Amino acid sequence: MKTKLLAILFLAGSSLFAAPRVVVGIGFAPPPPPVVAYAPPYPGPGYTWVSGYWYPSGPRYAWRAGYWVRPPYIGARWIAPRYHGRRYYHGYWRR
């Protein structure tokens, strides 16, 4: 009887030190530094160069190469995407 009691106490006591540890960390790291690239030749009047940028794509960041584009309206200016305070802000057109 004593050996069974000692065995139960030993197993119960040792299981206290073997408690499962679960750590869940969710967060986004800042994107990698920009890729150095050149701008292709100017296609014509009215075009604006949008520099390349990193954007979140699932659990990773993907690179969007720079490109020439016509602004959606007269006087529009491209505000580049940015990463500030662990938060990603998309690029947009602004007057």
In terms of DSSP bridges, do strands 60-64 and 53-57 run parallel, antiparallel, or are they unpaired? antiparallel
**DSSP secondary structure string for all residues of 61-85:** EEEE--EEE--SSTT-EEEPPEEET
Report residue 78's pLDDT band, with 50, 70 and 90 as the boundaries.
very high
Q: DSSP character for 87?
A: E
Could you tell me the pTM of the whole model? 0.59
Residues 23-68 pLDDT 10s: 454 556 777 877 787 888 989 899 999 988 888 888 888 899 999 9
Q: Is the pLDDT of residue 5 over 50?
A: yes
Distance CA 19, CA 36 (A): 49
